[in-house]
Chain A
Amino acid sequence: MMLAPYRVLDLSDERGLLCGRILADLGADVIQVEPPAGNSARRLAPFLGDEPGCERSLYWWSYAANKRSITLDLACADGRTLFERLAATAHFVIESGRPGEMAAAGLSFERLSQINPALIVVSITPFGQTGPYATWVASDLVGMGLGGFMYVTGEPDRAPLRVGFPHFYLHGAAAAAAGAMLANAQRALTGEGQHVDVSCQEAVARSLANSLAANVMEGAVIVRQGSYRQTGADTFMRITWPCRDGFVNFQFSGGASSGQSVNNFVRWMADEGAPDDYLLSLDFRSMGYGMITNETLERVVPPVSRFLMARTKQQLFEAAIERRILLFPVATLGDILQNPQLQAHDFFRAIDCPQFDRPVTTLGPFARASATPLKGGGQPPSLGQHNGAIYEGELRLTHTDLIRLRSAGVI
């Protein structure tokens, strides 16, 4: 595995779990350090079989797979001492507490670096460690709004809209894995660790395509357009279209590839006996990407809509593949499970878990590597599953001490 020599101590909750999951998939030994009552993500829906339970959260399954678990109460002296012993030989610590929370627990970056100068500490927060919002409280919705994403997503006659699954912290946590590996590259040169300060707000800001540039260069305020998309001051494209049994994504735009795709579509309409003279008179390939005006769109949408509404998403998709048209179904979750490309990659895997009454389906890895394959989704650790291996096996606590710490609520 690419990261086999590295150990990660993961203190994060649902706001940061993906960071350690990425490093675990790449082969690092990621130890989730959980409060004795369990990581808060274990209490998040959905649950396997719709039965709430600390080993059944599918959120936990998604972002804690391939990790190990120990329990430890960092608020007490014994807990802190044990954590410091682990930190002395670890390579990374990941945390997602409020700025200052680690320091309040006696585990500031400065303190941890004294114990282990090569340690990389990764902090994932909504806005970063310092600055006017550093102490603000956030939620996914608040973050997606302050990250600029909601304003441009949704319908023009309604409130700005979030993405239908919480993405704010996932953006930051995924970026944190990249930041951790940058710090690791520097450690390879200098032997020194450092503090990686991740802002989820900045991570979302990097997901705004050309919207920010449109204001810097044209003074344009990009607004949400429902099925359409505003690309500049006076330019638009259409993205989502209804069809007979659902919706398709057909990027109706100019540009080298989108424009060629629209040209191919116009030809298909003609071949099927629905030629449109105005559409046939245009060459979308020679128009710039996203450069169609509203006037043009108003003329072309009705005939295109009629053509799409007469066909199912599967019919449209099959023809699109054949004619090199950039048209895809708007997938339901069920469609994704049946996606032939994902099936060919063996992306969804059912794994046997003795403690549950049936196999559990999980996702495959996010990438494939020729020499050192990544791990896909396995079963996540049960609460404190590796206490014995770490505390007795590595830190050489006696079994009597382990029982003592358990009774005292430290582990």
Chain B
Amino acid sequence: MQPLEDLKVLDFCWVAAGPMTTSYLAEYGATVVRVESRRRHDPLHTSPPLAPGKGLNRSGYYGNYSANKYALGLHLGSAKAIEIVKRLVAWADLVTENFTPGTMERLGLGYEALRSVKPDIVLFSTSMLGRGGPHSKLPGFGAVLSSLSGFTGITGWPDRDPTNPYGAYTDFIAPRFALASILSALDYRRRTGTGQHIDMSQLESALQFIAPMLLDCANNGREGSRTGNRHEAAAPHGAFACLGEDRWVTITCMTDAHWAGLRQVLGDPAWMQSERFSTLLGRKHDEDELEAMLAASTRIWNAEALVQALQGAGVPAGVVHPNKGMLADPQLQHRGHFVYYDKPRIGRHAVQRSEFRLSRAPAAHNWPTPFIGEHTRQVCRDILGMTDAEIEALIEAGVLEVPE
């Protein structure tokens, strides 16, 4: 059995943070009806990588977040569409959305409106900066938030400009906080019969990932700085080049035992025997030189072989994986992290599993991300009880959409 097999979700989420949040729900058994229209489609449909061809439903980025969901093609621009939404609200336990604050309200689908349809509904909203406040309605997404959250400012080399962490980074932090709070609200509803509106500012969830530095600044007045890959209480602590093109190994010596293991693996060359490198304080004092000497020693190694040798000696070390290395990583393969699908338009693509395994709850990987409107007829017939004639008339009228 699956933990969420009784859960019914009406999902308006788009881009990354929202659909990733509801992807966990679908993976663990919830019936997730994803509402989308070709006329105002998820921007990820046109985001790379795109399979060759024309039209929507070709993006591998989009394809990663909606497997096992039901796709309802519905254009929200008519009164009839809003009526259909309200019938789905009456069916649902949970409604999820990550539009700019005010959008749902403008559509007549704010929390109060939903509550009048279904008094115990749980509405989950998330946006860049949350409801209320002078910047609430600013549009934007994760790559921007990496900068507002301070991540960009503290990431980089001391002698260079700050570096934005890859991708819409905060979009992938928010879903864990989101899922924990959604499932908690649903548990509260199960126990008490009371629904509620959760509003999550993705800035405020992201800041939990830098909290100690913020408290340092607020209480001690210390501004953050960029330190590359270095660590205040470890040395060496960095990525070092190996044989081949752009091949790197991370090595971190947090203890004497790690340093001893590193010396042993590298054959204890003369420079490592130097007295000044025998203590952490000594290694920190001459860290530039330490790193240069170490880089010269690792350069003759194959990256995988060096990592195997270092791990064998108890030294924290790992390959720096490029994307193709991730796909071939033996541990991720052991976990079955990537589920591959083949589907028209998008072709062969991968969907990532959740990052946990539950010993008694199998994850579902039944179908890949559907095309916009792929389940329109099924949802309208089976959930809303519409007749085929009604459905076809609404498709004809442009209210409902099915794949072209």
| A-B complex is real | yes
Contact B161 A136 (CB under 8 A): no
Asked, given contacts A22-B177, A131-B334, A202-B335, whether A167 binds B209 with beta carbons under 8 Å apart, the answer is yes
B324 in the interface (beta carbon within 8 A): yes
In the bound complex, residues from chain A placing their C-beta under 8 Å from that of B204 are: 342, 345, 347, 363-367
Query: What is the CA–CA distance of A339 and B139 in the complex, to the nearest angstrom?
Result: 16
Asked, given contacts A221-B324, A336-B150, whether A205 binds B316 with beta carbons under 8 Å apart, the answer is no
In the bound complex, residues from chain A placing their C-beta under 8 Å from that of B1 are: 186, 189-190
Contact B161 A227 (CB under 8 A): yes
In the bound complex, residues from chain A placing their C-beta under 8 Å from that of B173 are: 171, 174, 207
Tell which of A82-90, A248-256, A388-396, A397-405 binds the partner. A248-256
Contact A181 B220 (CB under 8 A): no
Task: Choose among B16, B246, B320, B347 the residue with the greatest number of A CB atoms under 10 Å from its CB.
Answer: B320
Instruction: Name A120's closest neighbour in chain B (CB-CB).
Output: B358
User: Distance in Å from the Cβ of A309 to the closest Cβ of chain B?
Assistant: 13
Which single member of B220, B324, B350 contacts A46 (CB below 8 Å)? Answer: B220
Query: What is the CA–CA distance of A330 and B24 in the complex, to the nearest angstrom?
Result: 31
Contact A202 B332 (CB under 8 A): yes
Query: What is the CA–CA distance of A180 and B153 in the complex, to the nearest angstrom?
Result: 33
Query: What is the CA–CA distance of A255 and B240 in the complex, to the nearest angstrom?
Result: 37
Instruction: Name A137's closest neighbour in chain B (CB-CB).
Output: B316
B67 in the interface (beta carbon within 8 A): no
How many inter-chain residue pairs (CB < 8 Å) link A and B? 563
B327 in the interface (beta carbon within 8 A): yes
Interface string of A278-317 (1 = CB under 8 A from B): 0000000000111100000000000000000000000000
Query: What is the CA–CA distance of A218 and B348 in the complex, to the nearest angstrom?
Result: 10
Asked, given contacts A141-B239, A251-B144, A364-B204, whether A213 binds B209 with beta carbons under 8 Å apart, the answer is no
A145 in the interface (beta carbon within 8 A): yes
B205 in the interface (beta carbon within 8 A): yes
Which residues 172-203 in B have Cβ within 8 Å of A in the complex? 172-173, 175-181, 183-188, 190-191, 194-201, 203
Task: Choose among B136, B171, B315, B357 the residue with the greatest number of A CB atoms under 10 Å from its CB.
Answer: B357
User: Distance in Å from the Cβ of A144 to the closest Cβ of chain B?
Assistant: 8
A107 in the interface (beta carbon within 8 A): no
Query: What is the CA–CA distance of A206 and B353 in the complex, to the nearest angstrom?
Result: 8
Task: Choose among A49, A171, A330 the residue with the greatest number of B CB atoms under 10 Å from its CB.
Answer: A330
B134 in the interface (beta carbon within 8 A): yes
Which residues 206-238 in A have Cβ within 8 Å of B in the complex? 206-218, 220-224, 226-227, 229, 231-233, 235
Q: A137-B314, A167-B209 are in contact. List 17 more A-B contacts (CB 8 A).
A: A26-B184, A62-B208, A133-B331, A139-B250, A139-B252, A146-B318, A151-B320, A185-B28, A207-B173, A208-B172, A217-B349, A240-B161, A248-B147, A289-B47, A333-B150, A333-B217, A339-B203
Contact B322 A176 (CB under 8 A): no
User: Distance in Å from the Cβ of A240 to the closest Cβ of chain B?
Assistant: 5
Contact B139 A324 (CB under 8 A): yes
Interface string of A47-85 (1 = CB under 8 A from B): 011100000001101110000000000000000000000
Contact B166 A137 (CB under 8 A): no
Question: What would be 6 A-B contacts, judged by CB atoms less than 8 Å apart?
Answer: A131-B331, A199-B331, A201-B331, A229-B143, A331-B152, A347-B204
Which single member of A2, A159, A249 contacts B240 (CB below 8 Å)? Answer: A159
B210 in the interface (beta carbon within 8 A): yes
A116 in the interface (beta carbon within 8 A): no
Task: Choose among B157, B163, B176, B315 the residue with the greatest number of A CB atoms under 10 Å from its CB.
Answer: B176
Q: How many residues of A contact B (CB 8 A)?
A: 162
Contact A213 B355 (CB under 8 A): no
Contact B358 A148 (CB under 8 A): no
In the bound complex, residues from chain B placing their C-beta under 8 Å from that of A321 are: 135, 138
Question: Considering the complex of A and B, which 7 residue pairs feature the smallest CB-CB distances, nearest first?
Answer: A209-B167, A213-B60, A164-B154, A232-B48, A344-B133, A186-B3, A249-B147
Asked, given contacts A128-B331, A183-B3, A341-B136, whether A213 binds B49 with beta carbons under 8 Å apart, the answer is yes
Contact A361 B319 (CB under 8 A): no
Q: How many residues of B contact A (CB 8 A)?
A: 166
Which residues 308-365 in B have Cβ within 8 Å of A in the complex? 311, 314-327, 329-332, 334-335, 337-338, 340, 346-350, 352-361
Asked, given contacts A231-B48, A333-B153, A337-B214, whether A181 binds B179 with beta carbons under 8 Å apart, the answer is yes
Interface string of A180-199 (1 = CB under 8 A from B): 11111110111010111111
B275 in the interface (beta carbon within 8 A): no
Query: What is the CA–CA distance of A68 and B395 in the complex, to the nearest angstrom?
Result: 57
Asked, given contacts A165-B213, A182-B28, whether A374 binds B181 with beta carbons under 8 Å apart, the answer is yes
Which single member of B153, B234, B240, B359 contacts A194 (CB below 8 Å)? Answer: B359
Query: What is the CA–CA distance of A255 and B317 in the complex, to the nearest angstrom?
Result: 40
Asked, given contacts A2-B184, A321-B135, whether A367 binds B198 with beta carbons under 8 Å apart, the answer is yes
In the bound complex, residues from chain B placing their C-beta under 8 Å from that of A182 are: 3-4, 24, 28, 179, 183, 356, 358, 361
Contact B355 A164 (CB under 8 A): no
B61 in the interface (beta carbon within 8 A): yes
B164 in the interface (beta carbon within 8 A): yes
A332 in the interface (beta carbon within 8 A): yes
Contact A162 B316 (CB under 8 A): no
Query: What is the CA–CA distance of A109 and B7 in the complex, to the nearest angstrom?
Result: 28
User: Distance in Å from the Cβ of B375 to the closest Cβ of chain A?
Assistant: 23
User: Distance in Å from the Cβ of A2 to the closest Cβ of chain B?
Assistant: 4
Contact B133 A341 (CB under 8 A): yes
Tell which of B77-85, B224-232, B383-391, B396-404 binds the partner. B224-232
Contact A213 B63 (CB under 8 A): yes
Contact A45 B232 (CB under 8 A): yes
A370 in the interface (beta carbon within 8 A): yes
In the bound complex, residues from chain B placing their C-beta under 8 Å from that of A329 are: 147-148
